[in-house]
A and B are shown apart, each in its own frame.
Chain A
Amino acid sequence: MNAVFKAHETFRDDFTFRNSPQAIRRFPLPFPDDTYMYSVNIEPHLPGLPGSVTQFAFDVDEHYVAECRERAIVLAAEPLRFQALPHMMSAQWDCLELIMESLARDYPAHFSLKRQGNRWHWINRPLEIEQRFVFGDAATLPRQPLDYITRQAQGDFVVMDQREGDLWTEAGMVTTQADWSLDFDMGMTFKEWHGPVPLAHELQVFDRALKFLLNLRLGKPVRRLNWTMTIHPRLDTSPENYPAWGKDRASVTAQNAGDLVHLRVELQGLWRLPRSNAIVFGIRCYLLSMRELVTVPKWARRVHRVLKNLHPALVDYKGLARYRDVVVEWLAPFDDGTPTTPGTAPE
């Protein structure tokens, strides 16, 4: 995306975040049909259409600089949003390599990576960062490798060690999450971490996902979409800060629903890491207000229907209970009952 970075937009306090028309059109709508239920909707993370959010390994968009600033704010107040167990150091370096290589390859106007053996030279123009360091030598970086590089990437990152036939959550940078705590979940296995998700266990979604991920191969990453809703374009909807954002859920009215209620979509990518044999789970967050959503007529109709018919357990789990009906009512005038075409492309 040929982005002009909106460096000063905010995801807290005055919430100045807005999507440009271009950003709206490329929004990854997670609903291919008019109803929604969980599935293991994993697909190969191959390059998508030019301009789309899946064109590159890691998507950098107009919100890049603002999101990195927001992450820095969260970490200054709560350093424990980044954690890594000692045995995950080689996985940290693997992630740094993956992210730096990808960004430099896919956005050469913004990032550059020059290497002479282990001596690396990294330039991040949007954030005005230049760093020379020795790959593999943590003393040559100002922070731990995963901490260092994820402060220059959009979205959360969770690194899982693979051993004893399972995946263990043992490192991560988590500042833009939809209501789960890295600090609490550190050390959990794949199914324990997903414990709070209703229904999916009975549907064996996690058994199948785990089996698949245990065989994830180098060079063959996968991706899927997940979604929820957020009041205000607030990225930090962590359990830690629930006292600050919880009341937002009770503040939605028929008048403000269009501006306050946001569809929040996670584009999740999973990569096998080479030296550690661990798996990195990238969780990239996209926000779209209802007002922005309805500028695409097909999406307005579709989302109205999905929300109206959503399984009660999902309404509860996704935290929508207090405002779902108000949003459905706000969207109703945009749904004239016309059939929607399958797939997510705007008509």
Chain B
Amino acid sequence: MLVTGIKSKPVYAPLQADIGGRYHLMVGLGVGGDPLLRVIGEMRAAAPRALENTRVLYVPDPAPALTLAHFKSAGAADVRTYGGAAALLEDFSALLHRSLMGTRLYVAGPESFIGLTMKIALEFNLNKDEIRAEECGTLARRVYCVHCRATTEEVRTNIVRCVGCERWLLVRDHYSRRLAAYMGVMADAEVPGELPPLKEVFL
């Protein structure tokens, strides 16, 4: 079965300001703050008025290099910080309820954070033309066990023990936006105990 090189794996690109949008909603975690600041800088240079309609939601890393002050001094109109991703995503969802057509979403941070953000954005019919995502930080994955349907978080290795059924799962590149997770399938179903060597690959 194909494990890598699968076309459903999300592709990310460095964030760029989209001046065609009327409202700009920026969401970031940890080192994702840097790309967001960069985009704010681009907007200040190319279309400063856009900053009046720019909102930032940000989770500073445990050792915060970036703070609220950084974003405010960069010129964003409305900046909020959160202790963790869960609180940010709740606020994010409420914000989308009140948002209007013409909104552009910028997401930056580790892949699993991006996935959870996109999952909410999907409910509001935001599509790829309205969303830009840049991956930075850890590549650790969320893995959905196709056998017991449990999701194992923070997976950095090519095989992992499922938190639900305890089977060893092969971590594939097949990705579901709906579940915001990669597929995990039993690694030794054909010959029990025959496992590939454990490797750290999603660092």
Tell me which residues from 153 to 199 in chain B have a Cβ below 8 Å from any Cβ of chain A.
167, 172-179, 183, 185-186, 189-192
Known interface pairs A184-B179, A188-B176, A195-B174. Does A164 touch B127 (Cβ–Cβ under 8 Å)?
yes
Contacts of A192 in B (CB 8 A): 7-8, 175, 177
- Closest Cβ of chain A to B72, distance in Å, is 37
- Chain-A contact segment, one of B41-49, B96-104, B144-152: B144-152
- Docked-complex contact A195 and B186, CB < 8 angstroms: no
What are 30 A-to-B residue pairs whose CB atoms are below 8 Å? A179-B1, A181-B146, A181-B183, A184-B176, A184-B179, A184-B183, A186-B176, A187-B122, A187-B177, A188-B8, A192-B175, A192-B177, A194-B7, A195-B7, A195-B8, A196-B6, A196-B8, A198-B2, A239-B147, A240-B146, A240-B147, A243-B167, A245-B189, A246-B186, A247-B190, A249-B190, A250-B190, A250-B191, A316-B1, A317-B2
A33 at interface by CB-CB < 8 Å: no
CA–CA, A249 to B1, complex, Å? 13
Q: Which of A184, A198, A246 contacts B190 (CB 8 A)?
A: A246
Contacts of A317 in B (CB 8 A): 1-2
- Docked-complex contact B146 and A184, CB < 8 angstroms: yes
Contacts of B185 in A (CB 8 A): 239, 242
Known interface pairs A192-B8, A317-B2, A319-B1. Does A243 touch B147 (Cβ–Cβ under 8 Å)?
yes
- Docked-complex contact B1 and A247, CB < 8 angstroms: no
Residues of A within 8 A of B (CB): 164, 179, 181, 183-188, 191-198, 201, 239-243, 245-247, 249-250, 316-317, 319, 322
Listed from nearest, the 10 A-B pairs whose CB atoms lie closest are: A246-B189, A195-B8, A187-B178, A192-B8, A195-B7, A195-B6, A239-B146, A246-B190, A242-B189, A196-B2
SS of B interface (majority): loop
Residues of B within 8 A of A (CB): 1-2, 5-9, 122, 127, 144, 146-147, 149, 167, 172-179, 183, 185-186, 189-192
- Closest Cβ of chain A to B189, distance in Å, is 3
- Docked-complex contact B174 and A243, CB < 8 angstroms: no
Contacts of B6 in A (CB 8 A): 195-196
- Closest Cβ of chain A to B123, distance in Å, is 11
CA–CA, A183 to B148, complex, Å? 12
CA–CA, A105 to B28, complex, Å? 58
